[in-house]
Each structure stands twice: as C-alpha cells, then as structure tokens.
Structure 1
Amino acid sequence: MSKLVVISDPYPRTLNLIFNKEKFRLFKKKFQIISAPLKNKRAFYEKNISKATFILGQPDLPSTLLQKAKKLKAIFNVESNFMDNMDYNYCFNNGIHVLATSPVFGKVVAELALGLTLSLARNIHGAHYDFKFAKEKYGGESNLNSFLITNKHFGMIGFGDLARALLPLIQPFSNKIFAYDPWIPDQVIKDSKVIPCSLNTLLKKCDIIYVLATVTSKNVDLINKKNLSTLKKGSCFILMSRAALINFDDFIARLKRGDIYAAIDVFPKEPVNKKDPIRKLNNVLFSAHRAGALDVAFKEMGNIVYQDMCLIMNHLPPRLCKRAERETVKHLRSKPVEIN
C-alpha cells in the first residue's frame, strides 16, 4: 500500500525543530514527504498539490491551487497564527481542515508571564542588576516599591489558550480574576471561576493586567491613550500577545509618567532598534519575544501534528491542533513569524 503524501513547507520552522528523533522516525515511516523549495513555490504547488493528503506549513493557497488538491485532508500551520493567505471558505466547503499548532505555546507563555509578574512585584531583576554592579541595597531598603501579588485584582485581556494556561498559575494567589474577551461567552468565563467584564472596567480595577489576545481586524490599537490613562497607580501591565493591540506611542508616553510597571515580551517591530528610547525606561522589564521559544514547545508541535494526522487518516476529527473557524478566521491579522 502506497504511503500518503505530506508536502513539507514549514518555513520558518524546520522538521528537525518541530519533531523529536522518535516522532520524526515514525513520521517518515508512515508518510511520503515531499519538501517544498524556498523559491518558486507556485510552480511547485501547481505540480505537487494534487498528490498531497496533508500540507505541513502555511503556504499561499488561493482557490486556483486548492481546486487541484483533490486528496487534501488538512493543512497544518506550524507558524501557529492563521494568516490571510489562503481561501479558507474553499477549505471549509470542501472538508479540508485548516489547523494551527498554537496550543503548544500555552504552558510556556504562561510560566514566563508568571515569572515576569513576580519579578515586577519584587524587583528581582533590578536587585540582581544592582548586585552585579556592587550597588545592592540590603533588607527593607531594597523593597521600598515591592508588593505581594496575593489577593490582588488580576485581569486578562483575551481568554483563549494563553489565558487558560495562565489561569491555574495565578488562581493560588487570588480569586479576584477578571477577563475581557468579546469572542468568548460570559458563561464560559464564569465556568472557569473568572469574572467577565468590559475592557474599561478591567483596566480601571485590576492591579495586574495581562494582554493575551490575538490580533484581529477590530482590535488594533484597542489599548490607547484614553484607556491607558485609567490604569491604577502602581499597577503592572504585562504584554505577552500581541503588540498590535496597543498603540505603542501612547503606551510609552504612559510609562514615562513612572507610576506603573510593565513587562513586555512582544514589540511592534522586531528586532527592536538598538537606539529605541523604550530601552531607557526603568519601570519596564524587557523580554525579547522569548515566551514561546522553548524547544519543548517546538517539539510538541510535531507531536500534535503527527497525532492529528493519524486521527484524520482513521476518519476521525483532529483533537490537538487548533481549528480555523469560519466565523472568525477572516478577522485574524497576526504578522508572520520571522525568527524561531
């Protein structure tokens, strides 16, 4: 019996990045892998898409190409953000699953978010820097602006995979947790023992705020000068996903007032310019888009892709990767990943 064909086109990922050795061995044993070139992709797909049962990657796929893909069962986006580069309606109407490996990032992003929170609260990073340069302060003098996160009001902007992974990490500290997500019913949020609320209420009320949302056509610059002005004095603003939700000029202006703290893992343009004035802000804890970039997360991509392929081969629905949804995928606006 001939093997089913997988077109491998994972750039900027690689197969060695997303598969451990054992899973890669099983993958190659079960499937015939045809690798797409980095250039002249249109010609490659014109020639090969008719053979494929699966595509591992996120190539441009207009309907003119998809119409040739009579055997295609699923497209696995291992960049992990659905992009506006394929005819999703054709896929939905013709039984082609469009899937993303984004669930692998939940735990790794959540753990870093908690670490950043604790460092902001207790100035772990600042105390370390002071000690390195023989400027350390001992005892209470080093804790003049420190605070407990226990019993604080926590807020989550976005209540998807990232928020749900973070939730069990912060629940031991407080039961006063709020969430804003217009795509999630209030009842779903309440069932998680979280309080649904408006964005304005969350920004005004919460001491520790996480941005954990994807970018859509409707939420670019959602957080701006007007609502940033309502943040509580001493509050912590932790930006994990995505930078486009925030008007960064307004954000920097608010931070320059010096009465709030921030931790930032994602930026509007990466790498950040070496002379960017944001680097001079002392009330900001910086992280260079590190949250999800852990090898264990990348290797889990290969694991869930392989398992979902096996399910689909057995005429069962995929269970581990995130499905593109007809009603929302057309609104997603994430930028492609350029650095693993």
Structure 2
Amino acid sequence: MLPTSTTRPRALFAMGRHHRDTMFPPSAVQRLSTYVDIDPAHVAEDFTEEPALEDVEILITSWGCPVLDEEVLARAPALKAVVHAAGSVKHHVTQACWDRGLTVSSAAAANAVPVAEYTVAAILFANKRVLEIGGLYRDHRSPLDWSRHFPGFGNYHRTVGVVGASLVGRKVLELLRPYDIDVLLADPHVSTLRAAAMGVRRVELDELVSASDVVSLHAPALPETRHLMDARRLSLMRDGATLVNTARGSLVDTEALTAEAASGRIHAVIDVTEPEVLPAGSPLYSLPNVLLTPHIAGSLGGELHRITGSALDEIERYCAGEPFAHAVHHAALATSA
C-alpha cells in the first residue's frame, strides 16, 4: 500500500544537479512523488545552511553528494534512510551514519550490469584478437592468413580468470556461462565449495594469472589490493594474454603494466587507471596492443535509468514498510568497493 498524503515521508535530492537532471526526468519524478513529499526543483549540492535537512526522512543521493558527517546529521534529526542512486556509498556515508542507525541502500547491483557487459565484450574481443586484426586489416586493406598471425585465437575453451566475486565479478561469471570458456576464480572470501556452486574453479591468484588467457579484475580498492597486479604478478601472465581492468586503477601498477605492454608480450583493456587520467605522454594511449577507455564501463546515457529505477523501487519498498532489496551493510564495506 502506498502512503497517504498525510503520512508520506519527506525526501530530499542530495547530489550534483547535473545528475539530478539526467537521472530523474519528469516521469521518474512523477513516480517518486507518489511515495514521498519532495521538491523536485531543490537539489542539495552543499549541506552548509541547508534548511531542508531539518525535516527530511529520506535522502536520495548520487554522485556529488556532500559528506554526511556528525555535524550534518545533527541538523537532520528526522533522517532515517539514505537511498543512493549510484554505486559505492563510501564517499558520503560516514561512521556517524552507521552510529546513528541509518538504513542505507545502493544501486551498485544496477550499475554492475553495464560494467559486466563491457567486461564480457572485452574478453570475447581479446580472445578473438579483434583489435589487432582490425588494425592489420585497416593497414593492409586485404585479408591475411589470420590463423598464421594469431595461432589458436578464438574463444573456444580459452581460460578466463576472474579476480574477485564482487557484484560485477559475479555478473561477469553469469554472463560467461553460455560460452565454451573455462573460468577460474580467485577470491580469498569465496570457498572452493561456493565457487563450484557458481560453476567455476577456485584457485589462488598466482595460479589464475599464470593459467589464464584473459585476467579480468573485479576486486575492491583496499590497502591490501593496491598494486595487486604488480611487476612480479604481471610477469606471470602468459605470452599474448590480456589484462582487463574495469574495477579500480589502483589494482594495477601502471609503470609495470606500461613496461609489459610496451614489450608487446601481453595485451590490456583498461577502463580505469592510476592516476585516473594518465599523463599525455603515456605510451598506453598509443600502444597497438592496449585499448584504453576513459572510465566508461559503468552506467552512462540510457543506462542511468536502470539505476534510477532501482532507487525508486527501494523508496517504494521503504514507504511500504518493507526492507531494502539492496541494503548496504556496514560490516561488508571493509571488503567491498
């Protein structure tokens, strides 16, 4: 049952205005207004002297949301829930929120879909050597003996190593199931039995790296995962193997990757880097065995509406007195993005 006009909770948009305008078109605002009382034109981009905080029960957040610290929460006595229309909540949900007992939801599962789709496309193209063949075809303008140039290329029974059974990692595993591909998983938090139930074989990271034709990274950015793919581990990759990173740039030692890629020994599909924008002189921009994209794997364009729908579904559940389907649990943040 939807709340009546006298019992509807008060909500507030807290995000960059551009994201509010892009993600909440009139149709989404109309649906939202059936659940909550909200001024759709008001967007809190800065909580300093924000009068709407006083009676807000639900914050609808996204990219650009200011930090919810103790001082902000003290001015929001009625606040009970944060519905994040994006992925990670680590940038704005602080310890003070958990101490207060706020209920938090995230659209990370919705945002995982396009990242996984990009990743699977990268895997299939990498094994088929699409980028290299496309470049050679463009240069020669006539067919070559592709099997001679790329012996064993293709996806049939190639080995793909997935590093991290995160939301994106699990979605990649799901999307790979229809293909005749052998999949390995490295994740210290997943047992051999659980991996088997997921249809994959669990191995240690070094074994995965050395045994895979494609290594795809889906681990969170944590102190212990910084430079997970360092010079030593990159050297374990098979000659001609491909590294795919759609997770976090800090997982890879950029200098070591540049050296390996420049040698021509391995290939890379990189959507995230450290630093986020590489220096203009980085060889990774121009190496023929590297595809470098500017952090586009996540939700963009029409894909943002999937995130909006997820957030609206969560608000509907909250207003109906039901638990969030995509609740964020404080304890899980230590091992998640």
Same fold (TM over 0.5): yes
In 2, distance between residues paired with 1:275 and 1:104? 35
| 2:81 is aligned with 1:77 | no
SS at match of 1:255: helix
| 2:191 is aligned with 1:179 | no
Structure 1 residue 175 displacement after superposition: 5.5
Other-structure match for 2:67: 60
How large is the RMSD of aligned CA atoms in angstroms? 2.5
After TM superposition, the score normalised by the length of structure 1 is: 0.86
Other-structure match for 1:239: 245
SS at match of 1:328: helix
- The answer on whether the counterparts of 1:157 and 1:199 sit within 8 Å (CA) in structure 2 is yes
Q: 1:198 aligns with which of 192, 195, 204?
A: 204
Unaligned runs of 5+ in 1: 335-340
In 2, distance between residues paired with 1:232 and 1:158? 20
SS at match of 2:194: helix
In 1, distance between residues paired with 2:295 and 2:211? 28
In 2, distance between residues paired with 1:107 and 1:53? 29
In 1, distance between residues paired with 2:160 and 2:206? 14
- The answer on whether the counterparts of 1:19 and 1:301 sit within 8 Å (CA) in structure 2 is no
Other-structure match for 2:15: 10
Distance 1:141 1:188, change over 3 A: closer
Distance 1:111 1:310, change over 3 A: same
SS at match of 2:48: helix
Structure 1 residue 217 displacement after superposition: 2.8
| Structure 2 counterpart of 1:311, one-letter code | R
In 1, distance between residues paired with 2:10 and 2:253? 44
Q: 1:31 aligns with which of 28, 33, 36?
A: 36
Structure 1 residue 74 displacement after superposition: 1.5
SS at match of 1:98: strand
SS at match of 2:76: coil
SS at match of 2:158: coil
Q: Could you tell me the percent identity over the aligned residues?
A: 17
After TM superposition, the score normalised by the length of structure 2 is: 0.87
Distance 1:22 1:96, change over 3 A: same
Higher relative contact order by CA 8 Å / sep ≥ 6: 1 or 2? 1
Q: 1:155 aligns with which of 161, 164, 169?
A: 161
Q: 1:166 aligns with which of 166, 169, 172?
A: 172
Structure 1 residue 203 displacement after superposition: 0.8
Structure 1 residue 116 displacement after superposition: 1.8
In 2, distance between residues paired with 1:142 and 1:206? 20
Q: 2:331 aligns with which of 324, 327, 330?
A: 327
Instruction: State the Cα deviation string for residues 256-309 of structure 1 (Å, max 9, x = none).
Output: 221211111112233433332222322112222221233332101111111111
Number of positions where the alignment pairs a residue of Structure 1 with one of Structure 2: 326
Structure 1 residue 93 displacement after superposition: 4.4
Structure 1 residue 229 displacement after superposition: 1.2
Distance 1:111 1:229, change over 3 A: same
- The answer on whether the counterparts of 2:12 and 2:38 sit within 8 Å (CA) in structure 1 is yes
Instruction: State the Cα deviation string for residues 27-86 of structure 1 (Å, max 9, x = none).
Output: 1343232534435x2221xx3323111111232111233244332221123342222544
| Structure 2 counterpart of 1:242, one-letter code | R
Other-structure match for 1:337: none
SS at match of 2:184: strand
SS at match of 2:52: helix
Other-structure match for 1:254: 260
Instruction: State the Cα deviation string for residues 101-152 of structure 1 (Å, max 9, x = none).
Output: 11112221222222222322233234434555x5234142486126022111
Unaligned runs of 5+ in 2: none
Other-structure match for 1:140: 145
In 1, distance between residues paired with 2:127 and 2:23? 35
Which deviates more, 250-259 or 267-276? 267-276
